[in-house]
Amino acid sequence: MTKPKVAFYWNASCGGCEEAVIDLAEDILKVVEAVDIVFWPVAMDFKKKDIKAMKDGEIAVSFINGAIRTEEQEEMVKLLRRKSGLVIAFGSCSHLGGIPGLANFWDRDTIFERVYKEIPSVINPDGVLPQTKTQIGDKQLTLPEFWDTVKTLDQVIDVDYYIPGCAPPPDIIMDGITAILEGKLPEKGAVLAPDKSLCDTCPRSEKKPDKISMKEIKRPHEIILDPEKCFLEQGIICLGPATRSGCGERCINANMPCRGCFGPTKEVIDHGAKGLSAIVSILGIEEEEKLSDEDVQKLIDQIKDPAGLFYMYSLPSSLLRRKIMRKGE
């Protein structure tokens, strides 16, 4: 029997998702035994032309990590979509936009200005910026177009399933791969992780008081963090209440609050809005009826960079998707 063909591809990502596949350790051998890897730029020497030469739908599954920010990425994922039976968005960037998606608080002009002109370590007296076409003698060099807006994979192509996480943990990856190989998949569009909130499975939630009221908001570097108490009880914002479980409480176990890389549970449309709503409800504001709007504003202003915090991993997948840019900003 021929083995099912599998492809791995990367877009706007950090390489951590590739690392996560390698981190399967011995399990990777089981995967390699069961499938035939036909494309994996980080590890194997197959080219775009090899994919192009395949029949439509010939690849059983493509695992695609990274957000979509350039013309080349868009072209490649469209090609892979055509050639694949199933497309799995792999990791937070592909699923939600992830950290590269925070670039949606800027656009290409402001990013290029910063990166190629303003950064102190850059020397660029002629203000040269990347061009899609550059003529050198009789040769023309080309670069892919850089979009203003970072997109999630499903904003560019049809996605069958999602494997969440920055990066996805080994057990979630193996469970996903096993489900695919055995054909035991849930309905299309599902995130292959439990549909519970992280607080439900967090070891700190047992001792959590019934009612939490955060009187002061602190950032993790400002206090000595108690390794057992719920972060919210300590005045540290944790996105556990709004985030999907399944990561193995990695950050919590490293004594750091959750920042939401698994994205929201199924019914939630906008992860950031859910998070801010949950956090603001438990602020310990006393005698609120006596407070003016300004007083409440002052308390809420303790939350620094709220958009960056609540949308840390999900900006491109949020309802607003990006910042509105105005000239001269």
Which residues form the interface with other proteins (CB under 8 A)?
A: 71, 105, 107-109, 131-132, 145, 147-149, 155, 268-270, 272-274, 276-277, 280-281, 283, 285, 288-289, 293, 296-297, 300-301, 303, 305-308, 310, 318-327, 329
Of the residues 12, 198, 279, 309, which one makes contact with ligand SF4 according to CB under 6 A: 198
Only segment of 29-37, 108-116, 171-179, 201-209 that touches ligand SF4 (CB under 6 A)? 201-209
In contact, 10 and 16? CB cutoff 8 Å:
no
Report the residue number whose CB is nearest to ligand SF4: 240
User: Measured from the CB atom, is 130 or 308 closer to ligand SF4?
Assistant: 308
* Alpha carbon distance 186, 170 (integer Å): 20
Phi, psi of 116 (to 5 degrees): -100, -10
The verdict on whether omega for the bond into residue 190 sits within 30 degrees of 0, i.e. cis, is: no
Q: Which does 132 bind (CB under 5 to 8 A by kind): other proteins, ligand SF4, none?
A: other proteins
User: Measured from the CB atom, is 104 or 234 closer to other proteins?
Assistant: 104
User: Helix H segments across 35-152?
Assistant: 48-52, 71-83, 92-96, 108-113
In contact, 89 and 306? CB cutoff 8 Å:
no
* Alpha carbon distance 209, 170 (integer Å): 32
Of the residues 258, 279, 299, 309, which one makes contact with ligand SF4 according to CB under 6 A: 258
In contact, 242 and 275? CB cutoff 8 Å:
yes
Q: Given the rule CB under 6 A, which residues bind ligand SF4?
A: 166, 198-199, 202, 204-205, 208, 230-232, 238, 240-241, 243, 247, 249-252, 257-262
